[in-house]
A = this chain, B = another copy of it.
Amino acid sequence: MAPAQEQLEGEQIVASNEDGANCIEKSRVTVIGSGNWGSVAAKLIASNTLKLDSFHDEVRMWVYEEVLPSGNKLTNVINETNENVKYLPGIKLGKNVVADPDLENAVKDATMLVFVTPHQFMDAICKRLVGKIKPDVEAISLIKGMEVKMEGPCMISSLISDQLGINCCVLMGANIANEIAVEKFSEATVGFRENKEVAERWVLLFSSPYFQVTAVQDVEGVELCGTLKNIVAIAAGLVDGLEMGNNTKAAIMRIGLREMRAFSKLMFSSVRDSTFFESCGVADLITTCMGGRNRKVAEAFAKNQGKRSFDELEAELLQGQKLQGVSTAKEVYAVLSNRGWLEMFPLFTTVHEICVGRLPPTAIVEYSEHKPKCCLA
């Protein structure tokens, strides 16, 4: 039997070969975003698509085009050197990663889309993608951080699903991009809504011996972890700045994890306790409270007795990077206040009140006199 080939609107069906095997349609992966974490994600994926028969080798990566100081375009340099010299220098992405500055072109043949851009760009990106993607495409968001509005958190996975009419999973975890880039052991959690087979396909695409991925049926729980942990990191940084020691810091992290869980469950009744034992929960919290920019700026804030603002310290310490904990704390505070839940969340509440100067940094270890009336076990 001769191999059959079909081309339907850019959709490539890989036909059976002469042995009658390989009748499966191969997946085509496009990574939307090419920053530090996006580049590492492309590297992880590209090493797997080479090994796995059910994926096309090529991984397309949409790159927001920049002209480098050398005068060369970033996409050209990536495609020639196989390195993202700007955002992940020194790391080979894999020869099968193709940088593409044209968003529409990058996505048109994809059956699996990996979103990994700063969260504030996602609304505009989704608008540009309407009508440009294949209808049955599967998506996953690696984007941590979201706005929490009065009516509830603006999940990036929901934004993608709603605007594009496609299913969207999330992948979160203790994932410092530069450590994974040099293949240090790490873990991650995929959150999925209903389709377990799809989740398993994402797990397959990302997993490696040094990057172990587990799927849990809890999109909202997994995604909220990636945002709420930043409030806890502010608290942990304050404890560091006050030099309260490991004991107090561990207690504050534990209370923070409890409030992350409680808040998530109040927002979405489907959220599972067990999610917070996964990499997206306790492990990402630990990483973020040990290193990370929220912790760092909060430490400086406490050391200065709150006399220099978060904005000022952020500008000085982060060289243009933004910290998210302060704005997330503010947004979550508004929700808690509006619903009469402030007393159930002493840590979240106190972090915000410290950030805006209503309470001194020391309040982070004093709030506890008001025992939380939280309804959760």
Contacts and interface: CB of A to CB of B under 8 A. Distances in A.
Given A282-B257, A368-B209, A180 B247 contact: yes
A362 to B, nearest CB: 10
A250 B210 CA distance: 14
Interface string A192-228: 0000000000000000011010000000000000000
Interface stretch (A143-151, A154-162, A271-279, A308-316): A271-279
B277 A187 contact: no
A212 B367 CA distance: 12
Given A174-B250, A174-B251, A371-B212, A261 B277 contact: yes
Copies of the chain in the assembly: 2
A176 interface: yes
Given A185-B368, A371-B212, A377-B274, A179 B286 contact: no
Contacts of A291: 246
A246 B209 contact: no
Contacts of A369: 209
A174 B249 CA distance: 10
A254 B174 contact: yes
Contacts of A250: 174, 282-284, 286-287, 290
Given A246-B286, A253-B286, A254-B286, 18 more contacts: A174-B246, A176-B246, A179-B246, A179-B247, A179-B248, A184-B244, A184-B248, A185-B365, A185-B368, A186-B247, A246-B291, A247-B287, A249-B286, A249-B287, A250-B284, A250-B287, A254-B278, A257-B282
Interface of A: 174-176, 179-180, 184-187, 209-210, 212, 244-255, 257-258, 261, 273-274, 276-279, 282-284, 286-287, 290-291, 365-366, 368-369, 371, 377
